[in-house]
Amino acid sequence: MNTLIPDTELPYTSQEQLLLDARSARTTYFTKIHWQHFTTHFITQPSADAHRRGIWHEYLNRVRALHRDTLAYLWSEESRIAHGDLYQIPVHFHALWFSHRQLDARMLATEWKALAGDGGKPIEIEPYNPSGGGLAYVLKLADRSDCHWDFSDNLSLFLPESIDLSTSQSRRRYRRHLARTSSPP
C-alpha cells in the first residue's frame, strides 16, 4: 500500500514508494555512526571529471595514511547544471567522517588544499550535528544515476551488530580495530 504524497490526496507510485523506502533504509543505516565532522570540498582549479575524482580518491588515501587509525567516511559528489534561471553550483564533494580517535581538522584542510588548490574557500569543516541534516545533505542525490557517492568499506567495524566474524581474517581485523580503539592516542 502506497502512502500519500504530503499535502495531497495522491498516493505515491510503486516506483516512488520503492525510492522512499530505499532512502529511509540508507538514512537509518548511516545514522548509527556517530559522525565527527561534516565537510564540503571545492576544487579551485579547473579539472575534468576523471581528474576531479582522482583528486578526491588521492585525498581519501592521504587522510587514511596520516590519521593512522580506523577511519569511516561517507561522501558524495554534487553538481548542478545551469538550467534556465537556476544557479549553477560548481562540482564539489560533501563528506561525513568518524574515527574513535579525534580527527585533526587542520590535517583534513591541509591535505585538501595541497591537492585541490587553496584559492577562495576550498574546504569547510564543521562538527557533525546529528539534528542538523548533514547526513541527508550528503545523501540527497544518491538516488540519481549520475550521482557519485561511496562510503568506507570498514563501516561494519563501527556497527558491531553487522560484523561478519565467519572467517579468521575478519575476526583478526575486528580484534585489531578493538585494540586501536582502546589504546591511547
- The answer to the question of residue 22 being in a domain is no
CA 71 to CA 103: how far, in whole Å? 9
* Lowest pLDDT segment from 12-16, 37-41, 106-110, 181-185: 181-185
Query: 55 is written with which cell numbers?
Result: 583528486
| Average pLDDT over the chain, rounded to an integer | 81
Checking if the pLDDT of 86 tops 70, the result is no
- The answer to the question of residue 140 being in a domain is yes
**Across residues 37-54, what is the average pLDDT?**
85
**Across residues 64-91, what is the average pLDDT?**
77
- The answer to the question of residue 98 being in a domain is yes
- The answer to the question of residue 170 being in a domain is no
**Across residues 22-36, what is the average pLDDT?**
84
| Helices assigned H by DSSP within 7-69 | 14-31, 49-67
| pTM attached to this predicted model | 0.76
Checking if the pLDDT of 101 tops 70, the result is yes
Checking if the pLDDT of 1 tops 60, the result is no
H or E segment to which residue 38 belongs: strand 37-42
Q: What is the pLDDT of residue 41?
A: 95
Distance of CA 92 to the CA centre of its chain: 12
- The answer to the question of residue 24 being in a domain is no
The residue with greater pLDDT, 135 or 4, is 135
Q: Domain range holding 148?
A: 32-154
**Across residues 164-183, what is the average pLDDT?**
69
Confidence of residue 174 (pLDDT cuts 50, 70, 90): low
Q: What is the pLDDT of residue 80?
A: 63
CA distances from 82 to 42, 89, 137 (A): 18, 8, 20
CA 128 to CA 150: how far, in whole Å? 18
Give the gyration radius of the chain's Cα atoms: 19
Residue 72: which CATH number? 3.30.70.1910
Query: 112 is written with which cell numbers?
Result: 585538501
- The answer to the question of residue 118 being in a domain is yes
Number of folded domains that form the chain: 1
C-alpha triplet 172, 178, 183: angle, nearest 5°:
125
- The answer to the question of residue 95 being in a domain is yes
3-state secondary structure 78-101: EEECCCCCCCCEEEEEEEEEEECC
